[in-house]
Structure 1
Amino acid sequence: MEFVIKISQFLLSLSLLIVLHELGHFIPAKLFKTRVEKFYLFFDIKFSLFKKKIGDTVYGIGWLPLGGYVKISGMIDESMDKEQMALPPQPWEFRSKPAWQRLIIMLGGVTVNFLLAVVIYIGMSYFYGDRFLPVENIKDGVLVESTAANNAGLLTGDKIVSVDGEIIEDFSQIPEKVLFGKNIVIERNGQQSTVTLPQDFLAQLIDSKEKKFIDLRMPFIIAEVPDSSFNKGSGILKGDIIIGFNGQETKYIDEVIPALETLKGQEVEATILRNKETIQIPLTISDDGKLSLIYASGATSETLEALGYYTYETKSYGFLESIPVGIEKTGDKISSYITQFKAIFTPSTGAYKGVGGFKAIYDIFPSFWSWQVFWNITAFLSIMLGVLNLLPIPALDGGHVMFLLYEMISGRKPSDKFLEYAQLVGFILLIGLVLFANGNDIFKAIFN
């Protein structure tokens, strides 16, 4: 069932993004009276799952869910239709249109991608508002469960003051800011200092194969007391929170685990928080430092707030208020993705090791259905698709735009033969990037 939910979200999001992106090309092409021969969701190599011709255009669904396309008459694209290009230009063809019209047609897809992200973020701001944890409300610092981060100088309990001079107000932004930052100002034991991350910090994180980096410190909440547990008759119950042993405070999991190691094989007096009241319960710790209890490694923001661990804030927006908020969020996400992209194309950072393909995209969808999560992921993927398509690779929209700008500035149009060769090189390069990204997915699945 988990697979069905995840794959449904993945395919729905992907289909929505592809159709709207291609509509971005289709609509201006039609407005400029340019013939569109095909409009396809997914690729129809050899055969289609569905197709129907309406007017001059064949609308269809292919069987290979790796993207989609519109085939515009008189345009050198992935179809490499040399026979059509060998004939005299016709007035309804792409190549017969003025350069400014061709530019608008080519920019239509990415324009829709960015506009879609804006619309989604406006809608989410209006319907859901923003619930966030102010950094100033994290009184005991953050959890740093990463050998690479620890070696760089970041430790559990540190308070993140700023990253590269930027003071961060929302905790959810800290992991990404630190990940792509250099100079981290922290507060430890009341003293501020600067941690300078090594240039290959990202590579160290990826090579360590550790899934956690910077997170919130969590309480040790009992999720289950197994019937086989030697602490079954102690009086401890599901939902209890261990906050101390023998009078020593252990407010967080990262304090409980080390304490158990020092108390191996002992009978201890555990301080328990139950229904906001503190009680004492005798517990046995095994010789290997275990309680024989199942605990939760995380909790919802509502639970953490009710327990008094963190105080969250919620911002609500009216419809008009949500418009600038949605635009700002889109701009922030574009900037964030470009930062990540720069890191990927800087070999010394090692960020390229973390590049993923379709499996990586599939994995970011949750195993439960949440429209809020779905739309948030879809908005980010729309931005990602827009930025990627603007790359100056001939097989992508950005490649066509690059040649069109050259034509408009120089007054000289590249020859069809040159464009064919450029398209072929771009297509090979694009296939290489796709194989690399999905190859990374396969490598991680086998060796991680």
Structure 2
Amino acid sequence: MIQLAQIIFILSVLVILHEFGHYITAKWFKVRVEKFYLFMDAGFSLVKKKIGETEWGIGWLPIGGYVKLSGMIDESMDTEQMKQEAQPWEFRSKPAWQRLIIMLGGIIVNILLAWFIYSVMYSTVGKKYVSTEIIQKNGLSFGEVGQNAGFVNGDKIVSVDGKFQENFNRMVMDILFSHEVVVERNGQEVKLNLTDEQIGDILAKEGRSFIAPRLQAAKIDSVWVGSNASSAGLKKGDSIVGLNNQKFKFTDEFSSRLSKFKNDSVSITVIRNNKEELIRAKVDSVGKLGFMFSSYLKDDYVVDQKMSFTEAIPEAVKESWALLVYNVKSFKLILRPSTGAYKQVKSPVGIARQLPDEWNWEFIWNFTALFSIGLAFMNLLPIPGLDGGHALFTIVEMITGKTLSDKAAGYVQTAGMIILLTLMALTFGKDIFELIADKFF
């Protein structure tokens, strides 16, 4: 329920402010706003009240919101008023440059919102990120798909497309978007070029977890009930330092060596109560014993940059621009079918499932800013039914001096809405199925 409450809160903030951008610019240019809705009111609304010339309400379908402007064919598909003579207060009566500003008003507010949130966050709690330099001090550890793509445990990322990314989370994303990755391996620089198929494997099987810090020999965090580790007598808190009389320094070395003894027995050296002990254990068919090492603490690698509000403003602008660039790169990746990135697109249901189980204002506001830039980018796309589609036709009109007929505009709007609703249905359907599958299967 907390995850649901968080996504509803975030969506509400973003939708209200986005639509307010359209509303306030329409008011500036004296365009009548007939409706202002949070969420869609297909068939009926949950709440509505007429104030002045505008009906304010909340719809039952949480997939966005809208403002209905007089004299404009929009999501409402109300074409009747377009048959009447144009009135001074109607959208269609305004100059093209004013209509363009109204169409871009929501996008502008989304960007300004992200700037404001980041400025406040950076000047209060600080700018926080996981340091690439710190996290790969001992090198990096890679999952199976990462190793199949050419990475080796112990590699250090030198550059991605010629640049070193100080933010580790961004660096992982950069690798997925990259043309060339340079790693330091045993004192030598090695160049890697990931194929679309390798990127697809990373996205489908391991995601961001395909790469992690290389941890020194650590304690056992948990032993699975009924596992071979449990039967052998391994306990939480044991430090594993050797396998078959061979000592190792890093946990990935242990895992790699263990995988060579599938369905066999091994001798494990552990430190328990400051004493070294040997324990005999059976390895299962996939090369595991059935325990988990203590995971790394993310806070150990976090850099927190404190700054004043005046220092935070340019940093917030820089961050917002960087996020917009990442949205462009993500979209380009989605358009490459061989990567399978389109399968990772999530609806609000899927996004909500990834939110934390506890209410955390710092996370929520950071996520709201991130989502706000994503919403701005999505609405910039020149697709009929989105702000970018309306803006494109307006720009063409400004250049050519010609406008679409009301009939043609209606067809274009209908086609755009069909495309958007189809995509929404597919993403919602996928995420709802996964939710049900996780709960009952």
For residue 228 of structure 1, report the CA deviation from its aligned partner: 8.7
**Counterpart selection for 2:276 from 278, 281, 291:** 281
**Counterpart selection for 2:102 from 102, 105, 108:** 105
Residue number in structure 1 paired with 2:122: 125
For residue 35 of structure 1, report the CA deviation from its aligned partner: 0.9
Q: Kindly tell me: are residues 295 and 346 of structure 1, through their superposed partners in 2, closer, same or farther at Cα, counting changes over 3 Å?
A: closer
Q: Kindly tell me: are residues 132 and 239 of structure 1, through their superposed partners in 2, closer, same or farther at Cα, counting changes over 3 Å?
A: farther
For residue 433 of structure 1, report the CA deviation from its aligned partner: 2.3
Residues of 1 paired with 2:173 and 2:305: CA distance? 22
Q: What is the number of residues matched between the two proteins?
A: 432
Secondary structure, counterpart of 2:40 in structure 1:
strand
Unmatched 5+ stretches in structure 1: 306-310
Q: Kindly tell me: are residues 237 and 67 of structure 1, through their superposed partners in 2, closer, same or farther at Cα, counting changes over 3 Å?
A: same
**1:160 equivalenced with 2:148 (yes/no):** no
Contact conserved, 1:344 with 1:351, CA < 8 A, in 2? yes
Residues of 1 paired with 2:85 and 2:47: CA distance? 32
For residue 210 of structure 1, report the CA deviation from its aligned partner: 6.7
Residues of 1 paired with 2:357 and 2:130: CA distance? 24
Superposition pairs of residues 252-331 of structure 1, within 5 angstroms? 252-260=250-258, 265=265, 268-271=268-271, 279-288=274-283, 294-296=291-293, 298-302=295-299, 305=300, 312-331=302-321
**Counterpart selection for 1:428 from 410, 418, 433:** 418
Name the stretch that deviates more: 205-214 or 133-142. Answer: 205-214
For residue 291 of structure 1, report the CA deviation from its aligned partner: 10
Contact conserved, 2:221 with 2:294, CA < 8 A, in 1? no
Paired AA for residue 137 in structure 2: K
Residue number in structure 2 paired with 1:308: none
Superposition pairs of residues 339-350 of structure 1, within 5 angstroms? 339-350=329-340
**Counterpart selection for 1:186 from 183, 191, 198:** 183
**Counterpart selection for 1:411 from 378, 394, 401:** 401
Name the stretch that deviates more: 182-191 or 255-264. Answer: 255-264
Give the TM-score of the pair, scaled to structure 2. Answer: 0.88
Q: Kindly tell me: are residues 210 and 125 of structure 1, through their superposed partners in 2, closer, same or farther at Cα, counting changes over 3 Å?
A: closer
Contact conserved, 2:22 with 2:106, CA < 8 A, in 1? yes
Superposition pairs of residues 28-67 of structure 1, within 5 angstroms? 28-67=25-64
**1:363 equivalenced with 2:353 (yes/no):** yes
Contact conserved, 1:244 with 1:271, CA < 8 A, in 2? no
Q: Deviations over 1:160-211 (max 9, x none)?
A: 1111111222322221011111211111112111111113333233454677
For residue 86 of structure 1, report the CA deviation from its aligned partner: 0.8
Secondary structure, counterpart of 1:60 in structure 2:
strand
**1:140 equivalenced with 2:138 (yes/no):** yes
Q: Kindly tell me: are residues 422 and 292 of structure 1, through their superposed partners in 2, closer, same or farther at Cα, counting changes over 3 Å?
A: closer
Unmatched 5+ stretches in structure 2: none
Q: Kindly tell me: are residues 379 and 241 of structure 1, through their superposed partners in 2, closer, same or farther at Cα, counting changes over 3 Å?
A: farther
Contact conserved, 1:206 with 1:353, CA < 8 A, in 2? no
**1:75 equivalenced with 2:65 (yes/no):** no
Q: Kindly tell me: are residues 221 and 100 of structure 1, through their superposed partners in 2, closer, same or farther at Cα, counting changes over 3 Å?
A: same
Residues of 2 paired with 1:50 and 1:80: CA distance? 21
**1:396 equivalenced with 2:386 (yes/no):** yes
Residue number in structure 2 paired with 1:385: 375
**1:171 equivalenced with 2:168 (yes/no):** yes
Give the TM-score of the pair, scaled to structure 1. Answer: 0.87
Name the stretch that deviates more: 381-390 or 237-246. Answer: 237-246
Q: Deviations over 1:304-357 (max 9, x none)?
A: x4xxxxx65432111111111111111111001101111112334432232222
Residues of 1 paired with 2:397 and 2:178: CA distance? 39
For residue 253 of structure 1, report the CA deviation from its aligned partner: 3.1
**1:242 equivalenced with 2:240 (yes/no):** yes
For residue 128 of structure 1, report the CA deviation from its aligned partner: 2.0
Residues of 2 paired with 1:291 and 1:385: CA distance? 43
Residues of 2 paired with 1:189 and 1:270: CA distance? 29
Secondary structure, counterpart of 1:105 in structure 2:
helix
For the aligned residues, what is the CA RMSD?
3.0
Q: Kindly tell me: are residues 446 and 66 of structure 1, through their superposed partners in 2, closer, same or farther at Cα, counting changes over 3 Å?
A: same
Contact conserved, 1:130 with 1:314, CA < 8 A, in 2? yes
Name the stretch that deviates more: 341-350 or 92-101. Answer: 341-350
Residues of 2 paired with 1:64 and 1:268: CA distance? 57
Contact conserved, 2:244 with 2:266, CA < 8 A, in 1? no
Q: Kindly tell me: are residues 239 and 372 of structure 1, through their superposed partners in 2, closer, same or farther at Cα, counting changes over 3 Å?
A: farther
